[in-house]
Structure 1
Amino acid sequence: MAIGKLFIGRKVREIRQASAATQAQFADMIGISTSYLNQIENNQRPVSASVLLALAEKFGIDITELSSGQNDRLLSALTEALSDPLFETYSPSLQELKLITQNAPGFAHALINCHQAYRRNGEQLASYADRAGAATANETTSYEEVRDFFHFVDNYIHDIDQMAEGLAAELKLGEGENYAAMTGFLESRYGVRVVRGDAGDEAIRRYDPKSRILTLSRYASAPTRDFQIATQIAQLHVEAKIDQVLKSAGFRTEEAVEICRIGLHNYFAGALILPYRNFLQAARELRHDIELLAARFGASLEQVCHRLSTLQRPGQKGVPIFFARIDRAGNITKRHSAARLQFARFGAACPLWNAHQAFEAPGRIIRQLAETPDGVRYLCIATQVNKGTLGFRAAQPRYALALGCEISYADQFVYADDLDLSNRAGFDPIGISCRICERVKCTSRAVPPLKHKLVVDHTVRNANPYEIE
């Protein structure tokens, strides 16, 4: 996809400082004037194609890495925060917000954290007036802190991903029976024996460090079983590296550290079963057919979709996609987006999004062409999956998996083959969430948008009982 105007002053400044060059020296290196470099670094002018090529040639910079994926995520979160009526006297332009996220990302993060604390405090005061003075009322929860950590590192942990890929190559995973290779590795390297659990044991995985016995549920599916073995390998094989990542993350509480540790164990497990380069190549060959990818690697659909969202290795990126897992109540329990579509941090997802339709058609893949209020168009796919163990009386949680990409990448997906991508009328209008959606005529709106006045006419009743100014 073509790269538009890029205001990447902070990145250019970081490259210059890493090379220990003055502005005059660096400008000479890339063949521009010092004044032009100064304007670039202060985001007063975009970088030209010739400057991009010079950066790529002289400093080994991958031009595709200079796209604004990270800035898009931060810009979306900042825009949502500033849509709160708290800031009703301040309506920054898009250009102002871009300048903040590009030049002062730390300030943007701080403002977002302050807004989150404000919201939590207000919600607790409204719901639990008698506990308004609780010490934790304005603190970020550990879960939210970990969620934001993965969100802002692009859902990709380079060192852990590479370690998983190296071990997968050593064990030849994906070329035969993963179960035998991984259990053999655990026993030969760490003396851990894998056994099946008793019929009444509800634990999916249970490890006894004293006896070095790993017990797996006898009812777990093969993908779940393999993932849990890979998780155990993560705990034993890469714990030192995970400790380094956790230390550098700077979490405020030990609870957040341990929650993130679970996430990093799971990250390694997914990267081990679905090694980066092999999986990326297969995704391209199979044109992102998630069912064929699951069959090739012996993985579940959720594991495949989640892994597609982590293909963000510098120089070897996959298609920038968005991925989410939604429960039947509309809660987004997993989410990441490398595309411009960013999920709302508060409130439910748009009811017009096809993810909700997946519950009405279990076992099918639902397709949708959609357009967000900013005019960006997407190919969206969704399917329902069941979690839990087998059995008539066992709980069977149901989730919708949602996956998609911007329409410029749709030809790389098998799901777009017979769709008319050129017909703009064929795209459903969707939003991010009702509270920040600017569409004024949506009949599916759950709540009025923030920072918009309502007009009530008692002589006319339309689908909504009000008009949006």
Structure 2
Amino acid sequence: MTKTLVGPQLRQLRRVHKHTQAEMARHLGVSPAYVNLLENNQRSMSVKILLGLTEAYGVDWRKLVNDQDVTQLAELRATVRDPAFSGETPDLQELRAALDHAPRLVAQFMELHQNYRAMLDSLQRMDAKGASADLLVASPESAIHDFFRSHSNHFAELENAADAAREAIGGQSDDLYSNLKRHLSHAFGISVEVVSLDRMPDSLRIFDREAKKVLLSEAFDPINRNFQLAHVLALASCGSLLDALIASAGSLTDAGKARCRIELANYFAAALLMPYGRFLDLAESTAYDIDRITATFSVSFEMACHRLTTLQRRGAQGVPFFFLRIDRAGNVTKRFNATTFLLAEQGGACPVWNIHSAFARPGVIIPQFVELPDAGQYFTISRTTDRPVTSRHTQDRKLVVALGCEREHADRVGYAAPLIGDGAGSVARIGINCHICPRHACAQRAHEPLHVNLPLNANRRGTTRYES
């Protein structure tokens, strides 16, 4: 019989609740010395202790024993809560039984639902000419998003490679650009040059592998120059690792493989600029104060938000966040997810979500509690992020970054403090997109949903032209 050793997870659980070993011992009905032995993996978990953790701390004991089981259960739970399904939603006991006794059937059911989501997304992209041959094929962006999400947006191999690279680079953190240039030159023979906009008007960074040269646009500020060199270092030093990870992503198109390589190299760059342990400690100690984080690590707001979604190392987890970036038209230009929040490709299109009002208040962090049609509630913050300016014609081309977590984690995030306790009235009821949102009587509805018939009555005018 396999021993259940979960010391790091138990220690993290205790720290999240700010309990001493003595306080946890009282909750579990054991001695402090026994808790210490459990945390140091010198004793295995008994069924009694696991059930005690469930009762005292509200955690699912399966989460402590098997992370993969929890991921599958969360995915299945989110799927059956899709408004496309009518009737009573199966409870957790039924879902666990399905996973335990019919795993292949569950896998096929999940695949069917993913194809359904892909079809809805594709229908929204159809033009007046009708369907194309690849109508039902998921986009490369969707496939890569699902690949990252299947890893909880955390890649231990890239974290280790980034830590090793940071150690090899050496030097002081406040001189990272010079240190990166020196390391690329000494270790890989790669030179770095900052060039004028006249010389490189249509590109921000070019890595010429044959010439072993990196050209950076002068439009980049020092923060982005560091990130771009760290990205190039990933391409130069981790080629085999990137290949292996891309191969594990399944069948991707050539464009999908290229995009996946870019995102994985970006992950490495963020891990190098913001080492996991120091980053997590600062995030937790400051209640996820992003301004403090950006100042400490000399990174941008967007970089810090993106990095926050990756804090899912076993035994050292941060708040599980999702990340979304949109343009002024509501198009999603980047998305990452370590939560159960289902982000469609057009997920920033709901006008009820204050992600859009952030454009009117540049540089200001705007907090909000939101609720999806499946009743899942989340805390989000939204703020503008600037793009490199290459001419007077590219001024004010801002994007908005949104960062969010499930409501149960909101008390760990300082930005939520003013909103906690305001009651249900402070929760904005949003949807992913009007085309697939089943909400009735939404004053902001712009389209009739594809899969729900809204009531129409010629004798009554509702809040929108789509229902009465």
Task: Give the letter aligned to residue 344 of structure 1.
Answer: A
Equivalent residue of 2:313, what SS? Answer: coil
Distance, in Å, in 1 between the alignment partners of 2:324 and 2:451 is 27
Unpaired runs of at least 5, structure 2: 1-12, 17-43, 56-60
The match for 2:188 is 190
* Preserved CA contact (<8 Å) 2:153 2:309: yes
Task: Determine whether 1:93 maps to 2:89.
Answer: yes
CA separation of 1:125/1:342 partners in 2, compared to 1, >3 Å: closer, same or farther? closer
CA separation of 1:306/1:74 partners in 2, compared to 1, >3 Å: closer, same or farther? farther
CA deviations on 1:362-395 (whole Å, 9 max, x unpaired) are 1211122333344444322111112132432336
Task: Give the letter aligned to residue 129 of structure 2.
Answer: Y
* Preserved CA contact (<8 Å) 1:74 1:108: no
Identity level (%): 30
* Preserved CA contact (<8 Å) 1:73 1:152: no
* Preserved CA contact (<8 Å) 1:78 1:108: no
Distance, in Å, in 1 between the alignment partners of 2:389 and 2:409 is 37
Distance, in Å, in 2 between the alignment partners of 1:172 and 1:60 is 41
Distance, in Å, in 1 between the alignment partners of 2:379 and 2:439 is 20
CA separation of 1:341/1:444 partners in 2, compared to 1, >3 Å: closer, same or farther? same
CA deviations on 1:148-195 (whole Å, 9 max, x unpaired) are 212222211221122112322443588332112211211111121211
CA deviations on 1:339-368 (whole Å, 9 max, x unpaired) are 343223556532211111101111211122
Equivalent residue of 1:115, what SS? Answer: helix
Task: Give the letter aligned to residue 464 of structure 2.
Answer: N
Displacement of 1:101 after TM fit? 6.6
The match for 1:218 is 218
CA separation of 1:289/1:92 partners in 2, compared to 1, >3 Å: closer, same or farther? same
The match for 2:397 is 397
Q: Structure 1 stretch 157-166 or stretch 408-417: which is displaced more?
A: 408-417
Distance, in Å, in 2 between the alignment partners of 1:61 and 1:463 is 44
Equivalent residue of 2:259, what SS? Answer: helix
The match for 2:141 is 143
For the aligned residue pairs, the C-alpha RMSD in angstroms reads: 3.6
The match for 1:462 is 462
CA separation of 1:49/1:465 partners in 2, compared to 1, >3 Å: closer, same or farther? same
CA separation of 1:402/1:126 partners in 2, compared to 1, >3 Å: closer, same or farther? closer
* Preserved CA contact (<8 Å) 2:63 2:69: no
Distance, in Å, in 1 between the alignment partners of 2:420 and 2:293 is 25
The match for 1:361 is 361
Equivalent residue of 2:322, what SS? Answer: strand
Task: Give the letter aligned to residue 49 of structure 1.
Answer: L
User: What TM-score comes out, normalization by structure 1 length?
Assistant: 0.77
Task: Determine whether 1:424 maps to 2:431.
Answer: no
* Preserved CA contact (<8 Å) 2:331 2:346: no
Aligned residues: 416
The match for 1:36 is none
Distance, in Å, in 2 between the alignment partners of 1:276 and 1:419 is 29
CA separation of 1:31/1:395 partners in 2, compared to 1, >3 Å: closer, same or farther? closer
The match for 1:9 is none
CA separation of 1:291/1:363 partners in 2, compared to 1, >3 Å: closer, same or farther? same
The match for 2:384 is 384
User: What TM-score comes out, normalization by structure 2 length?
Assistant: 0.77
Distance, in Å, in 2 between the alignment partners of 1:320 and 1:347 is 18
CA separation of 1:392/1:414 partners in 2, compared to 1, >3 Å: closer, same or farther? same
CA deviations on 1:434-467 (whole Å, 9 max, x unpaired) are 3444432321222344544332222221312354
Equivalent residue of 2:403, what SS? Answer: strand
Task: Give the letter aligned to residue 152 of structure 1.
Answer: S
Task: Determine whether 1:165 maps to 2:163.
Answer: yes
* Preserved CA contact (<8 Å) 1:309 1:322: yes
CA separation of 1:326/1:173 partners in 2, compared to 1, >3 Å: closer, same or farther? farther
* Preserved CA contact (<8 Å) 1:384 1:399: yes
Task: Give the letter aligned to residue 460 of structure 2.
Answer: V
* Preserved CA contact (<8 Å) 1:371 1:430: yes
Q: Structure 1 stretch 266-275 or stretch 427-436: which is displaced more?
A: 427-436
Task: Give the letter aligned to residue 51 of structure 2.
Answer: A
Distance, in Å, in 2 between the alignment partners of 1:151 and 1:283 is 22
Distance, in Å, in 2 between the alignment partners of 1:174 and 1:408 is 39
The match for 2:175 is 177
* Preserved CA contact (<8 Å) 2:325 2:332: yes
Displacement of 1:298 after TM fit? 0.9
Q: Structure 1 stretch 389-398 or stretch 350-359: which is displaced more?
A: 389-398
The match for 2:352 is 352
Task: Determine whether 1:311 maps to 2:311.
Answer: yes
Unpaired runs of at least 5, structure 1: 4-28, 33-46, 54-58
Displacement of 1:137 after TM fit? 4.0
Displacement of 1:305 after TM fit? 0.5
Task: Determine whether 1:259 maps to 2:259.
Answer: yes
CA deviations on 1:12-50 (whole Å, 9 max, x unpaired) are xxxxxxxxxxxxxxxxx9877xxxxxxxxxxxxxx9626
The match for 1:40 is none
CA separation of 1:74/1:299 partners in 2, compared to 1, >3 Å: closer, same or farther? farther
* Preserved CA contact (<8 Å) 1:52 1:63: no
The match for 2:247 is 247
Displacement of 1:425 after TM fit? 2.6
Aligned equivalent of 1:152, options 150, 161, 166? 150
CA separation of 1:348/1:320 partners in 2, compared to 1, >3 Å: closer, same or farther? closer
Task: Give the letter aligned to residue 253 of structure 2.
Answer: T
Distance, in Å, in 1 between the alignment partners of 2:65 and 2:97 is 21
Task: Give the letter aligned to residue 112 of structure 2.
Answer: L
